[in-house]
Structure 1
Amino acid sequence: MIVPEMPALAVSESVINFGNSETIKRVNVSNSGTGKLSWNVSTSETWITVFPLNDSTTTDKKEIIISVTRPGLLPGNYTGTINITSNGGNTALTVNMSVDEFPELNINPASLSFGTDKSSLSFDLKNSGGGKLEWKLTSSENWLLFEPSSGETTTETEQINVSVNRIGLNSGNYNGIINIESNAGNISIPVEMTVEEKPLLSYSPETINFGDQDSTANIEIRNIGNGNLNWQLSGNQPWISLNRANGNTPANQKDDVEINISRNGLAPGDYNGELNISSNGGNGVITVTYSVKENPKLSFSPGAINLNDNDSTASFKIKNVGSGILNWQISTEDDWILIPITNGTTTKNNESEIEFNVNRDLLSPGDYSGNIDITSNGGNGSINVSIKIKDEPKITVSPKSLNFGDKDSSKTFEIKNTGTGNLTWQLSSNETWIKLSASDGITSSKDNDEIEVMVNRENLEPGDYEGSIKITSNAGEETVDVSMKVESKPNISVSAKNLDFDTGFNSLSFKISNKGTGTLEWEIETISDNWLSVNPGKGSITTGETAVFVNIDRNIMSPGNYNTKIDINSNGGKESVNIKVTVEEEPILSVTPASIDFGSTLNSAILLLQNIGTGRLSWSSEIMYIDGDEGWLQMNQTSGNISSSRSINLSVNRSGLSNGSHTADIQIYSDGGNATIHLY
C-alpha cells in the first residue's frame, strides 16, 4: 500500500502587534505534516511589507520578516491581513499598528537682515503639528551666533535669539545661512549683514608703574575694528617723552609706542601723570606712575688717623651730605683694628661718630698702617690708620684675689707680660702667715710666671683673715688680695660612758659638752632597738652642756639581760654610751569567766586560771558568801603554782539550802595580781 505525503502548514503567530513605534517583527513557518511544504505570502496593505513572499520546507522552520511603514499615514490605529497559502493548508495573520500624531516645523520670519547697525534679532520656532518636534541649529559662519541651538518642542513657541559679531571683519556685505534640522524636516533661514568701515581703538596696558628704577616701557595700540585707525598720543607731564606721537593702524593690526620718563632734577617722592590717546575709533587714558628715591651721599672725616704712642682709641665721623637714609657698613682686614660698630644708618645732614680700638698686644715694636673701609648706598671710602709700637712691657695678673677658705693651704696666681720688652717685678706681702714661692723675677714679652702662695694657720685664733700681695714692676703696680678662714675646733665629751638600768630603772641620762672651741654639732645615730629611745636626738653646743635622756620600755622586752650602745656623731669627734638592762620574769594573772550564773539547775562549772606573763604564778583563793546560805560551793583546788594555765572545777550542793537566791564571790590572790569571780 502507498501512503501519499501530507504536508501541514503551521505558523508561530496569528496576531502581530507593532504598537506605535516598532517597525519589524518575525514569524516562523514550519511543516507539521510530512513531505514538502510549499507556501506563498500576500497582503493588500501598502504599509505592510513581507519577505520572502514564498518558500518551502520539509522539517526546518522558516522565518518571515514583516515590517511596517508609518510615514505618510494619518494618525490613528491600523489593522491589516497577511494571507499565507500552501499545499498544506492556508491561514491569515492579523497585523495591528498605530500611528501617532506627527510634528510640523514652522518658523517666522523666514529670513533675518541685520543691516549696518543691528547686532541682535530673533525668530520664532513652532511645532504646528502634533507630537514632539526635535530640532537643532547650525551655521558655517563664525560671525553668526544663536541661542538656544537645539531643543524639543511640543505646543510651545521657542524664541531663537540671533546675534552677529562685526569685530575683526572687513567692511562689506555678508550673507549666511542658519540650518534647522528636525524630525519634521529641515529649513534654512537666510541671514544678511553689512559691515561699515569703523575702526575701534584698543590699547594696553592701562596703567604703567615705573617704580623707582625703570624708565622705559612699551604701549600697544591696536585696531580691533575695520578701516584705518588714526590716533594721537600726548603726555600731561614734562618728564614724559614718546618715540612717536601719532600713527595710522589698519584693521586687526597694532602699533608699538615707547614711553620714557626722566627723573633728572626731581625731588624724592611719588609722581603721577597721564598719556591721553585720541582716535577716530575712540579715546583712552593711560595712567603713568613712578617714584624718585632718596639720594644719600657718603662723607667722612678725617681721611687718615695717626695714633700717638699711648693711644689705643680713636674715632671718625660718617655724614650723609645727600638726601634720604645713608646705610653704611664698616670693615677692616687688619686684626689689630677693633671696630665694635660695623653698620648703621645716618639721615640727611646728620653724622654718626664711630669709635674704634687698636690692640697693641698683637703687634711687635715697629710702624704699622691699616685701613678702615666704608661701604654705603651713597658711595664708598677708606680711612688710613697708622700706629707706632715701642718696647713697652705690660703687666697682667690673674687672678687678682685668692680665697683659701677654711681648708686650702696652697694656691697660685700668674704674672704675664702682655706688652713688649722685659717685665721686671718684685713681690711682698703684708702678713706673716702669707708665704711666697718667689720674691722677684723677669718675664719676657708674651710670657708668664706662676707664683705659689701658701698660708699657715698654725697658732692662729679662729676667725677670718685678710691680707695682700703687692707686685711692683717696670710696668706699674698690681695687688693680689688673699683671704682665708681659721675655723674653731669643737671637741665632744660625754658625762657617762655606761648606763646600767639594772632591773628597776626605766629612764637615765647623760650629758654632752663641748670641750673645744666653736659650735659642736652632734646627732645620735639611728637606734635599732625598738625598746630604747633618746631625747633629744641632736643639737648644738657652744658652751655648757646638754642632758640627753635615755628611756627603755620593759613592756615589750622579754626577761633577760640586754646590752647595746648609743653612737653619737659630731663635728668634734664621735662618742658612744654603753647601755645595760636586766628584765626579770613577771607573772600576770588572768581568770575567765569573771562571773558564773548557776541558775536553778546548773550544779558545776569550770574556772580557768592563766599566767599571761612570765615565770611561775603563785596563787590562793577564798570563798566569800554574800547572800543566802553558806557552805554550798566546793573547789577541787584552792591554791597552787601556774606556769601557763590551770582549770578549777566548781560544784554546788543544793541539799538543805533554803528557798531563794544564794550568791558568793571567789577571791583569787597571786603575785601576778588579784581577781574576783561573782557567783549567782
Structure 2
Amino acid sequence: MSKMSGTGNTVDTLSVNIAGLAPATYVDTIVVSDPNATNSPQMAVVTLIVAPGIPVIGVDPLLFAFTGVQGGANPGTQTLTISNTGFGTLNWTVTKTAAWLGLDPASGVDDGPVTVSVDLTGLAAATYVDTIVVTDGNASNSPIKVPVTLTVTAAPKPVIALSPTSFTFNAMIDSIIPPPQTLTITNSGEGTLNWTAAKGAAWLRLDPLSGSGNGSVTVSIDITGLIAGTYIDTVIVSDPEAANNPQMATVTLVVADKPKPSIHLSPVVFTFNAVEGAGILDTQILYISSVETGWLNWTATVNGPWLSLNPAAGEGDGTVILTVDATGLTAGTYVDTIVVSDPNANNSPQTAMVTLVVTAATEPILSVTPDLLEFTALMAGANPPAKTFTITNVGTGELEWYLGSTEDWLLPTPASGAGNATVTVNIDITGLAAGVYVDTIFVYDDDAPNSPQYVAIGLTVTEEELPCFSFPVDTIKFEGVLGAPIPSVMLPVTNPCGGTLTWTASWDSTWLVVTPTTGGQDQMVKFQIDTTGIGMGTYYDIVTFESNGTNSPFELVVQLHLTGAGIPWLHVSDSLFDFGDVCLGDTVIGGFDIVNLGSGDLPWTAGATDPIVLSEHSGMTPAHVTFTLSTVALPLGPQELMIFVSSSADPENPQTIMVKLNVIDC
C-alpha cells in the first residue's frame, strides 16, 4: 500500500511483489482501524495467485509483399522477426503452403529471425498469396498468421520497328541491276528481339534472313526473266514474342522496257560537184547518232549506182563515208536519197538527200565560202573589223569573176579577179544612223553555169555597245562508268563586247542538269550528269543559250558516253584537227592518243581517207599515233578528211577524227 494512515476520505493503491514466490495461491488481510470509529476495525481480503510462466508470440512485420518479372531473377529476401512478448520460454515453428515460398529456419526458441524468400521458377504472370503460420502450443496467442503476397508481372516484350517501310527499285530490261537497298530492323521495346525475315517473290532477295537484336537486311532484286511491268512483294519481319508481331515493308519493282532509240542524221543534205570525165570524187561523211536512250542497229541504203556507202550498217553511233563515182556521167544534176533504218527506232526511217552536179568539162563552177558575213558597229565609232570570203573554182576551165553590190557602206576588194581568190569585205559606217542594214555581194562569172553565187551581208549599227555571248567551247563530252559519280564541269559565260549581257539556258534531256539557268556576263555555269533511269550508251543534248547579245542564240553540244564497270572503253584524245589555210604541195603533221577508259585489254585498228598516212594501223592501248597529210594531190579549196579508230573489244564505240584544211595556191 502507498499509504499506511490518513484523515478523511481517501483512495489507496495496492501493489504486489512476487519475487521469490513459487506458483501458488496467497491470501492476506488489510485491517483499517480508527479508535474513534464506531465500527473500527474494518478488513479487506487480498488474494494473489502466482501461476507458472506463459509465452506470447510477437511477429514483425505483420505481412509481406514481393514483386518479380516472369522468367526474371528472384526478388530479394525479407526477414520475419519472431519475439516472446510473454513469460516463460517460446518454442516456435513456422510453416507455409506454397512451393514458391521459402522459410529459413523453420523453428526456433524465443526471439529469432526467419528469412523469407520466393522462387519465380515456372510462375506465370499473376498474383500469388500464401500465409506464414507461427505456432507454439504453450503460447497464449498461438497460432499467429502472417500473409505473403507475390505479384509476378509479364516479361517485357520486344517491339519490331522497320525503316523504311517501303522500297522502290527501277530497272530496265537488258540493263544493269539497280543497287541493293537496306532494311533496318530495330527493337523499340524491351527484352530481346529474335527476328526472321521472309518474302514471296523469286525476284526479291534478302540477306540475312534472321538475326537477334537490332540488325539490317540487304534488299536486292534480280530481273532475270521478267518482262516490263510493275511487281510488288512484301518483306515480313516476325518474332512471336514481339508485342506487334509481324511487321511488313512493301517492295515495288518497276521494270521498264528497253528504250527505243531515235535516229539522228547530220547533215541531211549533201552536194557533190563534178566535171564530165571525172572519176571518184572527194568523200563526205554522214554522222549517225541516237538522240534518245537506247542503242541503234542501223542499215543505210541508196538507189543510184554512182553513190556508195561504207559501211552500210552498224550499231550505236557511227559514220558513213559517201563516195561518188562520176565516171561516165554526162553533164546534169543527179539526186539520190540515203535511207537509214532501224526497225526498233521510234522515227525510222530517216533520210538524207545527195545531189551530184556534173558540169561540162570546159565550164568553171563557182564556190563561195562562207555565204553570210555579219558586222556590228557603234554609231559614230570605229568601223568594224574586216572579214573575208573565198572564191573557188570547183569546175574546170578558166574562172574570171567579178563582184556586184548595192550599198555604199559595203566595200569588198578586189572587185574582180581570175581563179581562186580571197575577198576582203570592209564596212564604212560614216553617216549611218543606228539600225540594221543588209546587202548582198553577188559573185559572177559569165561562163559558170551556177553564176551568180552570193554572200549575204548584215550590219547592225547601235547607239550603244551591244553585248555578245561568249563561251569557251561549243562541245562538252562526259565519259563515265554507270553507277559511278561523273565529275561536273564548270565554264564561264563572258561578254567580250560591250553593254550588259543577260541570258537563259534550255535543254531537253533529264540526264543533264545545268545551273544556273539564267545569268549574265562573267557567270560560271555548272554542268552535271544524273544517270538515274538510263543505261549504257551514248547520249546527246543541245543546250541553247538565248541572250540579248548580237550572236544569240548560242548552241552547246553535250555528249554523254556511259559504259559498265569492267568493260573496255575506246577513247581518242582528239576529235578534230583544223589546219586552216595550207599551201598546195605542203605537208601537215598531227598526232593523237588512243586510250582505254574502261578496264581489260583493248586492241585497236585505225584507217584514214587518202591522202592521210598513219604511223600505225593497229596495236594495244595505250598508244600514240602520228599522221602526215600531203596536199600535192588535193584540189584547191576546203577539204574534210577522216581518221577512223575502232576496237573489237568495244565494237559499239568507233571513234572518228575529222581533219580540216583549206588548200590555197601560194
**What is the TM-score with the length of structure 2 in the denominator?**
0.25
**Greater gyration radius:** 1
**What is the TM-score with the length of structure 1 in the denominator?**
0.24
Q: Which one has the bigger strand percentage?
A: 1
